[in-house]
Structure 1
Amino acid sequence: MGANGPTNPLVWLVAIICTIIAVAVVVIGITVFIGYIVIHPRVPVISVTNAHLDLLRNDYAGLLQTQLTIVVTAKNGNAKAHATFSDITFNVSYNGQDIAVLVANPFEVPKNSSKDLNYLVQSSSIPLSPDQMEQVDDAWKRNEIQFDFKGAARTQWRVGPLGSVKFLCRLDCDLKFRPMNGTYIPSRCTSKSK
């Protein structure tokens, strides 16, 4: 018994309820953390895995025509959860001149699997400045031409009843080709996730 008398039972009840809530929050937090560790997720990635320069034609009037085949692979290295890819948009450009915007509908990639997105990029005639015409001529002489490839996709894992984990995969790379035969010069073109 304290100086002011016994503690009110209502105060004891509130203290017990608060303790139960605090323990529940800690247990749920630990469960989510352990679930994340057990799943041992590998972040989904998107990569340019293959490409080909089907056509590269420039004329004396300063017009450039090109056609590219680009294979983008969406990979889910997670052994425990399916991944959903959405909001997929890529931009292909040459020396600051936009050639095409590539998109894809949302799709799911099963556990430890991948899905290829095959794009055929055909440009209309692109007007080039004299400097750009000279760069295309130099590319023919060096037998190497470069296109910019930028874009992003949203990815999401469903982690059982615990909810989902979301990422944004960004791509920003150069696609290089040999104009003489159209072959792709492989380079690391894999997304960075946030």
Structure 2
Amino acid sequence: MHKLPVLGRKRRTDLLVWCFAFICAILAIIVIIAGIIVFIGYLAIRPKVPLLYVNAARLDDVIYNQASVLAVRLTIAIKAENHNQKAHVSFYNTRLTLEYHGLSIAMLVADPFEVKKNTSEEFYYVVESSPIPLGKQEQLLTQQALQKGLFPFFLKGNSRTRWRIGSLGSVKFWLHINCHMWLPTNSSVVFPHCSSSSH
């Protein structure tokens, strides 16, 4: 006859394992509660990404001589908007490059500034380029632009934004502008309304 196995005392779970499981459970509860608080705060405040865009632009003067050297003067209005109802927004590291057929004309820079909740700020830049020697391709394009009375410019660059969501912390975004502007030589104001994208 086979002997039945003798059962010993039941093995108890180690106290250290119980402590570890308890700590993990507490941490999981804290994470869930924090997530709920953040979600409720987001619904209450409804944060919106600020905007930076080219509101208006004007070509004030064009000088193009027989030596194929171009000089221009422009006025550009850049607008910063904050549609958040409950948060001020800070803009910093704002740097925009003005180009003409790939040639860099000027750098538009703004000191750090703040836009109050649900308001906007507008900045005017008067850009006077240094004399720009043009290559053959740019010479041809410039002559065509003079005949049409319409000059193409390209404004691109970035700005950094930061704002607080109540006591939940701050949110940061990079704003990017890529704006093609066709400006008439008769000094008419153009409203490109090129808005920024963000990430």
Give TM-score, length-normalised by structure 2: 0.89
- Gap change, CA 1:7 and 1:50, over 3 Å in 2: same
Counterparts of 2:129 and 2:101 in 1: how far apart (Å)?
Answer: 14
Match of 1:89 in 2: 95
Matched, 1:41 2:47: yes
Indicate the SS of the match to 1:160: coil
Q: Is the 8 A contact 1:176 1:186 kept in 2?
A: no
Moved over 2 A (4+): 3-18, 184-188
Counterparts of 2:102 and 2:58 in 1: how far apart (Å)?
Answer: 20
Q: 1:72 aligns with which of 67, 78, 82?
A: 78
Residue 191 of structure 1 and its aligned partner are, at CA, apart by: 0.4
Q: Is the 8 A contact 2:47 2:165 kept in 1?
A: no
Counterparts of 2:31 and 2:183 in 1: how far apart (Å)?
Answer: 55
Higher radius of gyration, 1 or 2: 2
Q: 2:123 aligns with which of 93, 117, 123?
A: 117
Cα deviation 1:53-73 (Å, max 9, x = unaligned): 111111111011101111111
Mark the runs of 5 or more structure 1 residues left unpaired by the alignment.
none
Residue 160 of structure 1 and its aligned partner are, at CA, apart by: 2.4
Q: 2:187 aligns with which of 178, 182, 190?
A: 182
Higher relative contact order (CA 8 A, sep 6+): 2
- Alignment of structure 1 residues 3-14 onto 2, 5 Å: 4-7=10-13, 11-14=17-20
Counterparts of 1:51 and 1:187 in 2: how far apart (Å)?
Answer: 8
* Counterpart residue type for residue 27 of structure 1: I
- Alignment of structure 1 residues 1-194 onto 2, 5 Å: 4-7=10-13, 11-179=17-185, 181-194=186-199
Counterparts of 1:26 and 1:150 in 2: how far apart (Å)?
Answer: 42
Residue 10 of structure 1 and its aligned partner are, at CA, apart by: 5.3
Mark the runs of 5 or more structure 2 residues left unpaired by the alignment.
1-8
Aligned pair count?
A: 192
What is the Cα-based RMSD across aligned positions, in Å? Answer: 1.8
* Counterpart residue type for residue 188 of structure 2: T
Q: Is the 8 A contact 2:56 2:190 kept in 1?
A: no
